[in-house]
Structure 1
Amino acid sequence: MKTTIKTISGLEILDSRGNPTVRVYVELNDGTKATASVPSGASTGQNEANELRDGDKRYGGKGVLNAVANVNGAIANALIGKNATEQKDIDYTMIELDGTENKSKLGANAILGVSMAVAKAAAKSRNIPLYEYLGGTNSVRLPVPCMNILNGGEHADNSVDFQEFMLVPHGAPSFKEGLRYVTETFHVLKGILKKKGLATSVGDEGGFAPNCASNEAAIELILEAVEKAGYKPGVDLSIAIDSAANSISPNLDNNYDLAWSGKGKMSTQDLINLSEEWLKKYPIILWEDPLSEGDWEGFAQFTKRFGKELEVVGDDIFVTNTKYIAKGIAQGTANSALIKLNQIGTVTESIEAVRMCREAGWRYFLSHRSGETEDTFLADFAVAMDGGHLKTGSACRGERIAKYNRLLEIEHELKGRSEYRWK
Structure 2
Amino acid sequence: MGEEGGGRSCGTTRELQKLKQQAMEYYRENDVPRRLEELLNSTFYLQPADVYGHLANCFSKLAKPPTICKVVGKNVLDGLGLPTLQVEIFCTIQNFSKNICSVVIATHFEAHENTSPELVEAEELERVDAVSTAVQWVNETLTEELRGLVPSNQAEVDQVLRTFYENKVQEDKERKELEKNLGDSTALSPQLLLPPPPPPPPSKKKGQKQGKMETSAEKPIIPAEPPEPVLCGSMAIGAVSLAVAKTSAVLDNNPLYLNIALLKHHQEQPEKLTIPLLMVSLVSCGKSSPGKLNLMKEVICIPHPGLTAKQGVEMLLEIQKQINKAIEMSPPPKPETKKSHDGGKRGQSKGKYEVMMGIYKNAAEMVDLYVDLINKFPSIIALIDPFRKEDSEQWDSIYNALGSRCYIIAGTASKSISKLLEEGSISILKYSGLIIKHTNQTTMSDLVEITNLIDGKQLIAVFGSTEGESSDDSLVDLAVGLGVRFIKLGGLSRGERVTKYNRLFTIEEELGQNGTLGFNEEHTFFYWNEEAEKAGELPEVPEPIFPTEVVEEHAKL
Is TM (by shorter chain) over 0.5? yes
Pairwise mapping of residues 261-410 of structure 1 onto structure 2 (< 5 A)? 261-282=356-377, 283-316=379-412, 317-321=414-418, 322-323=420-421, 327-329=425-427, 333-342=430-439, 345-410=442-507
Give 2:241's aligned residue.
115
Give 1:74's aligned residue.
141
Contact kept, 8 Å, 2:489 with 2:497, in 1: the verdict is: yes
One-letter code aligned to 1:143:
P
- How far apart in 1 are the matches of 2:287 and 2:138? 31
- How far apart in 2 are the matches of 1:60 and 1:86? 36
Give 2:127's aligned residue.
62
Contact kept, 8 Å, 1:160 with 1:212, in 2: the verdict is: no
- How far apart in 1 are the matches of 2:291 and 2:320? 19
Of stretches 396-405 and 138-147 in structure 1, the one that deviates more from structure 2 is 138-147
Contact kept, 8 Å, 1:141 with 1:418, in 2: the verdict is: yes
Of stretches 404-413 and 313-322 in structure 1, the one that deviates more from structure 2 is 313-322
Alignment CA distance shift 1:197-1:84 (3 Å)? farther
Return the offset for 1:60: 4.4
Give 2:102's aligned residue.
35
Return the offset for 1:25: 0.7
Contact kept, 8 Å, 2:235 with 2:441, in 1: the verdict is: no
Alignment CA distance shift 1:352-1:171 (3 Å)? closer
Report whether the alignment pairs 1:94 with 2:220. no
Give 1:190's aligned residue.
324
Alignment CA distance shift 1:388-1:328 (3 Å)? closer
- How far apart in 2 are the matches of 1:72 and 1:157? 46
Pairwise mapping of residues 38-49 of structure 1 onto structure 2 (< 5 A)? 38-42=105-109
Give 2:224's aligned residue.
none
Return the offset for 1:146: 0.9
- How far apart in 2 are the matches of 1:326 and 1:386? 21
Return the offset for 1:403: 0.7
Return the offset for 1:295: 2.2
Contact kept, 8 Å, 2:236 with 2:441, in 1: the verdict is: no
Contact kept, 8 Å, 1:300 with 1:333, in 2: the verdict is: yes
- How far apart in 1 are the matches of 2:100 and 2:278? 30
Q: Say which structure is richer in helix.
A: 2
- How far apart in 2 are the matches of 1:275 and 1:339? 24
Alignment CA distance shift 1:396-1:388 (3 Å)? same
Superposed CA RMSD = 3.1
Give 1:236's aligned residue.
none
- How far apart in 2 are the matches of 1:333 and 1:292? 13
SS of 1:342's partner is coil
Give 2:285's aligned residue.
152
Contact kept, 8 Å, 1:344 with 1:350, in 2: the verdict is: no
Return the offset for 1:301: 2.1
Return the offset for 1:59: 5.1
Return the offset for 1:95: 2.0
One-letter code aligned to 1:133:
N
Alignment CA distance shift 1:212-1:29 (3 Å)? farther
Give 1:13's aligned residue.
76
- How far apart in 1 are the matches of 2:310 and 2:404? 29
Alignment CA distance shift 1:163-1:75 (3 Å)? farther
SS of 1:255's partner is coil
Q: Which runs of 5+ in 1 are unaligned?
A: 46-54, 199-210, 214-253
Contact kept, 8 Å, 2:73 with 2:87, in 1: the verdict is: yes
Of stretches 106-115 and 400-409 in structure 1, the one that deviates more from structure 2 is 106-115
Identity over the aligned pairs, expressed in percent? Answer: 21
The equivalent position to 1:25 in structure 2, one of 66, 78, 88, is 88
Give 2:276's aligned residue.
143
- How far apart in 2 are the matches of 1:212 and 1:91? 56
SS of 2:490's partner is coil
SS of 2:89's partner is strand
SS of 2:249's partner is helix
Deviations 1:9-49 (A, max 9, x none): 1111111222211111112223351111111345599xxxx
Return the offset for 1:197: 5.5
- How far apart in 1 are the matches of 2:422 and 2:433? 12
Instruction: Give the number of the structure whose alpha-carbon radius of gyration is greater.
Output: 2
TM-score, length-scaled by structure 2? 0.59
Number of paired residues? 361
The equivalent position to 1:163 in structure 2, one of 290, 297, 314, is 297
One-letter code aligned to 1:354:
T
- How far apart in 2 are the matches of 1:361 and 1:388? 11
Runs of 4+ in 1 over 6 A off after TM superposition: 55-58, 154-158
Return the offset for 1:122: 0.6
Contact kept, 8 Å, 2:107 with 2:466, in 1: the verdict is: yes
- How far apart in 2 are the matches of 1:35 and 1:164? 33
TM-score, length-scaled by structure 1? 0.77
Deviations 1:189-219 (A, max 9, x none): 2222223267xxxxxxxxxxxx799xxxxxx
- How far apart in 1 are the matches of 2:334 and 2:486? 28
Contact kept, 8 Å, 1:151 with 1:160, in 2: the verdict is: no
